[in-house]
Amino acid sequence: MTEQLRLMAVHAHPDDESSKGAATMAKYVAEGVQVLVVTCTGGERGSVLNPKLDRPDVWANIAEIRRGEMDAARAILGVEQAWLGFVDSGLPEGDPLPPLPEGCFALQDIEVAAAPLVKLMREFRPHVVTTYDEEGGYPHPDHIMCHNVSVAAFDAAGDPERFPELGTPWQPSKLYYDIGFSKAKIMALHEAMLARGEESPYAEWLERWEDRPDKGPRITTRVECADYFPVRDDALRAHATQVDPDGFWFHVPMELQQHAWPTEDFELVRSVVDSPLPESDLFAGVRETAQVR
């Protein structure tokens, strides 16, 4: 009997876990993998993006509400979840941009912010860690900090000379970045909508694409998880303050999504096991080396 496989997904805010890699997590949970979502902040400075909940009572209790939403999404996905305990930095807007709030996550020293994540890695002992790329997936200061902290913790968790007070060293085998959207994916969904004679919600996005780099060539790993797209969407809707159920994310029919692009995509950036690329499994190379109980 081989050791139970373990996956840790590190995210900036509650709701990020349901919009990035959620179907992959649900698939692995169904296969018996132990999955832990780490949420760096409480999302205290997030917007209320569902117009039906844009009310004073919601704004007054947003931190508590977002914790409840995270509990609901966690249960839907079947994952475990831990809070890292930092305060949301908010998304600065304006020209020039205003300073970030004192004490927020994005202003923490990397070594200080990485410490609780190192502790979690040594306790949970993940074989695979997923997080955001160097741009944070998109340039929210908390997403960029999440990337920095995740990489720092991945590199430190197995080093006995780093954070010796935080438990027995454990080196995760692989580190991945979520590649949520590539030009090929958006084009596939766009063209599939047009082929059905329906208006595509991606038209404007594609018009602006020339101004942004395409991360598609960075994809090393495509996980077939279309059967779990409905679970992903249910988890996303559980974050009711953050997602309009009548909004953009739900305009493309489920069966079209499952047919046009049935994978979630990742970039392998660190590995201590042999795993030829391209891959179709985050645990490729790990399954063969997992120790017997």
Average confidence score pLDDT of the chain = 94
Whole-number pLDDT of residue 1: 54
Q: Is 143 annotated as a binding residue?
A: yes
- Average pLDDT of span 119-136: 97
Q: Is 16 annotated as a binding residue?
A: yes
Whole-number pLDDT of residue 204: 86
For residue 238, is pLDDT > 60?
yes
pLDDT in tens, 88-102: 999 988 888 899 999
- Average pLDDT of span 208-219: 88
Whole-number pLDDT of residue 292: 40
Confidence grade of residue 291 (pLDDT, cut at 50, 70, 90): low
First to last CA, the chain: 7
Other Cβ atoms within 10 Å of 263 Cβ, number: 16
- Average pLDDT of span 187-203: 94
- As a whole number of angstroms, the distance between CA 77 and CA 239 comes to 13
Percent of the chain with pLDDT strictly greater than 90 = 86
Residues 6 or more apart whose CB falls under 8 angstroms from that of 212 comprise none
Check if the beta carbon of residue 173 is closer than 8 Å to that of residue 272: yes
Residues 6 or more apart whose CB falls under 8 angstroms from that of 68 comprise none
- Average pLDDT of span 65-76: 98
pLDDT in tens, 131-177: 999 999 888 999 999 999 999 999 999 999 999 999 999 999 999 99
Confidence grade of residue 293 (pLDDT, cut at 50, 70, 90): very low
What pTM, to 2 d.p., does this model score? Answer: 0.95
- Average pLDDT of span 256-267: 98
Q: In what order do the strands lie in the sheet with 34-41?
A: 80-86, 34-41, 6-11, 128-131, 174-178, 263-271, 221-224
- Average pLDDT of span 215-234: 97
| 3-state helix, strand and coil shares in percent for the chain, rounded to the nearest 5 | 40, 15, 45
- Average pLDDT of span 56-75: 96
Q: Is 127 annotated as a binding residue?
A: no
Helix H segments across 101-253? 110-124, 141-157, 183-195, 203-207, 229-238
